[in-house]
Amino acid sequence: MKYALAYALVCLVAMSAAPAYAQEAPKPDAKPATVDVNGVWDMVVEAPQGPVDVVTTFKQEGEKITGTQASPMGEIAIEGTMVGNEIKWILNLDMGGQQMSIAFAGKVEGETMAGVFEMGGMGTAAWNAKKRKQ
């Protein structure tokens, strides 16, 4: 009888603790929250000829981003995606009648972002950016 009472108490304690352990784990397919990149970003692109200052303006609607990228070569429209803290966009250049796509990819951390860009099959280089204060 003594053991039956002790067993019942142990079961009661175990059952009362079970709800604390039964919390639902995060779903692996859940998308992370998207970061807001709206605004003007001052970038430095590590081009083969040396660092180039670029000003990129992003307009974000959900995961879609559009905008412009202004450099010494002029201002060009961009479009891409922002998923979680991962940003990607494409810049299409007209190089004397030949089209060249430059694909940027990186990660946003607060007011900064950094990554690499692929120069139309001609190699990759680094870039970084800081959000301009309004």
pLDDT, tens only, 91-116: 988 878 888 899 999 999 999 999 99
Its CATH class, for the domain covering 39-131, is mainly beta
Provide the pLDDT for residue 14.
Answer: 36
Share of the chain above pLDDT 70, in %: 75
Is there a contact between 40 and 54 (Cβ–Cβ < 8 Å)?
Answer: no
Mean pLDDT of the region 51-63: 96
Q: What is the average per-residue pLDDT within 64-84?
A: 94
Rounded Cα distance between 84 and 78, Å, is 19
Q: Closest Cα partner for 106 from 126, 92, 122?
A: 126
pTM above 0.75, yes or no: no
Does 22 score more than 70 pLDDT? Answer: no
